[in-house]
Amino acid sequence: MTPQEELALISTTFTDITDLQRGQMKALWELYTDWNSKINVISRKDIEHLYLHHILHSLGILKVLKFAPQTKVIDVGTGGGFPGIPLAIMLPEVEFTLVDSIGKKIKVAENVANAIGLSNVTTYHTRVENLKEQCHFVVTRATMPLAELVKLSRHLISKEQFNALPNGFIALKGGNLAGELSSFGKKAMEEELYPFLPDLYFKEKKVVYLPL
């Protein structure tokens, strides 16, 4: 698929997308290709599939939970802003904090968020274990094993509850997760992304939800 066809797939998958959100999504192509030419946040050959492999994949979290307004979400190991920036576009009434320990990557995320006018995004250049923020959910995209994520970031989770699911962790993962999730027993919920995201790229992609 061309980038234009991949962008169109977002609109057909999320039919409630507004013209403003569609425009913000469209602007991401030029922003990320420009930044990626200076700072390698997406592999050179993968940037051609920005919308499919990075933006639409990030939005897969919405299969598990569409966060309620005023929810606070922390994106751990956000890199150039995934899944945080695509989610922030689609959920303007949700507060997103994007965290990464690599300064040049968080610089890209911050600049992209500012360029498209995302007032619901805050960025931090720090290690997650040093973060003092509170949130209802921690999200991440394949940054570390789930057990390690829980260990490093459980102090961030607030006791205040008002979403359809209890506060906890939502991670985008791929492949066979039996070993990684075995220590959590039946607490961890594993959701296939295909055919919710209607492309064969997502056949092996999953969303894992773990309540705290």
The string of DSSP codes covering the chain is --HHHHHHHHHHHSTT--HHHHHHHHHHHHHHHHHHHHS-SS-TTTGGGIIIIIIIHHHGGGGT--PPTT-EEEEET-TTTTTHHHHHHH-TTSEEEEEES-HHHHHHHHHHHHHTT-TTEEEEES-GGG----BSEEEEESSS-HHHHHHHHGGGB-S---SSS-SEEEEEEES--HHHHGGGGGGSEEEE-TTTS-SGGGTTEEEEEEE-
| Model confidence at 118: pLDDT above 90 | yes
User: In terms of residue numbers, what domain contains 185?
Assistant: 3-211
Q: Is 141 annotated as a binding residue?
A: yes
> How many domains, the chain?
1
121 confidence band (pLDDT: 50, 70, 90): very high
| Model confidence at 133: pLDDT above 80 | yes
Nearest to 169 by CA among 59, 101, 75: 75
Angle of helix 3-13 relative to helix 19-38, nearest 10 degrees?
Answer: 140
Mean pLDDT for the stretch of residues 120-144: 94
| Model confidence at 143: pLDDT above 80 | no
Q: Please, what is the average pLDDT of the chain?
A: 95
Nearest to 147 by CA among 115, 185, 175, 176: 185
**Percent residues over pLDDT 90 in the chain:** 88
pLDDT (tens digit per residue) in 69-91: 999 999 999 999 999 999 999 99
Q: Is 67 annotated as a binding residue?
A: no
More confident residue, 180 or 170: 170
Query: What pLDDT was estimated at residue 45?
Result: 83
Q: Does the predicted TM-score (pTM) go above 0.85?
A: yes
| Model confidence at 43: pLDDT above 90 | no
CATH code of the domain covering residue 124: 3.40.50.150
Query: What pLDDT was estimated at residue 8?
Result: 94
Q: Is 82 annotated as a binding residue?
A: yes
pLDDT (tens digit per residue) in 157-175: 999 999 999 999 999 999 8
Query: What pLDDT was estimated at residue 155?
Result: 96
pLDDT (tens digit per residue) in 89-107: 999 999 999 999 999 999 9
Query: What pLDDT was estimated at residue 81?
Result: 96
| Model confidence at 44: pLDDT above 90 | no
